[in-house]
Amino acid sequence: MAIDAHQHFWDPARADYPWMAGPELAPIRRAFAPADLAPLLKANGIDASILVQCRSAIEETEEFLGVAHATPFVVGVVGWADLTDAALGDTLDRLRALPGGAKLVGIRHQVHDEADPDWLLRTEVQRGLAALFSRDLAYDFLVRTRELPAAIATAKAFPQARFVLDHAAKPPIADGGSAEWSARIAALAACGNVWCKVSGLAIEARWTDWDAERLLPFVQHVANCFGEDRLIFGSDWPVCLLAGSYDEIKGALEACLAKLGPRVREKAFGLNAKAAYLLA
């Protein structure tokens, strides 16, 4: 089974998405639903997807579980819940009891938007993560280079937990990369309990001037660090449309992974996502 492990649905007419402000994001400031993604998955040989949160609202997580319940190709949901809430465990239990609740596979938060680079290390957040892991759910790191030290410390604090790094921590591809990003990625990978999504990379490049060769050094670095068993493909659709079509994004990442060996590509397009999120 080929899996796109990172995609979104949203409707700006029904909810507020603060990150979507600005004229450069106008092309994706419209509704995107399962009916829009289904033909793209079919055309690209993708069998299933994981639906990932877009805003910090429990209502969205509830809605996404309902979408997953009604959409066979959505095999998992990475939702949002308040990690600082002392009653987080009860919230997670309630979510899992909803229709589609069995497809809740993880939680994430826009950590890179927090003013505090060490937000993940706050006592109440670490308590929330413990509640998450006690229910065998994964946690997605949505961080940049600045927050990677806190992510590393968090991965070390929960050695038995499963973490997934979104978008390879958004490397500064448009600027040619950075030694700091490279070193911190290696340190995070060394924790052993973190998977890395090869997703969203074209968005970190210049949207009108990128190709697979531009992305390859960054894919090569995360592959060297995480190994073939901890790389996961994700399209980041529809955010990716700012830089290219679903076909172009998938094709470029597939070309990069294929250069690293047939098993790397095969595992990144399904097997590793199953392991990271305990997919049925």
How far CA 113 is from CA of 79, 99, 137, in Å, comes to 17, 31, 23
Element (H, E) at 90: helix 88-97
Overall average pLDDT of the 189-195 stretch: 98
Looking at residues 158-173, what average pLDDT do you find?
98
Look at strands 138-141 and 48-52 and give their pairing.
Answer: unpaired
104-132 pLDDT tens trace: 999 999 999 999 999 999 999 999 999 99
Q: How confident is the model at residue 191 (pLDDT cuts 50, 70, 90)?
A: very high
- What type of residue sits at position 226? F
The DSSP secondary-structure symbol of 81 reads -
pLDDT score for 262 = 85
Confirm if 236 and 6 have CB atoms less than 8 A apart: yes
Question: pLDDT higher for 280 or 61?
Answer: 61
Q: Which long-range contacts (CB under 8 A, 24 or more apart) does 134-137 make?
A: 134/89, 135/89, 135/92, 135/93, 135/96, 136/278, 137/92, 137/104, 137/105, 137/106, 137/107
pLDDT band, residue 280 (cuts 50/70/90) = confident
DSSP per residue over 102-123, as a string?
Answer: GGEEEEEE-GGGSS-TTGGGSH
CA distances to 57, 77, 110 from 154, rounded to whole Å, are 23, 22, 16
- Domain 3-277: CATH superfamily is Metal-dependent hydrolases (3.20.20.140)
pLDDT at 95: 98
Domains of the chain by residue range:
3-277
Angstrom CA distances, 147 to 121, 153, 259, stand at: 10, 10, 30
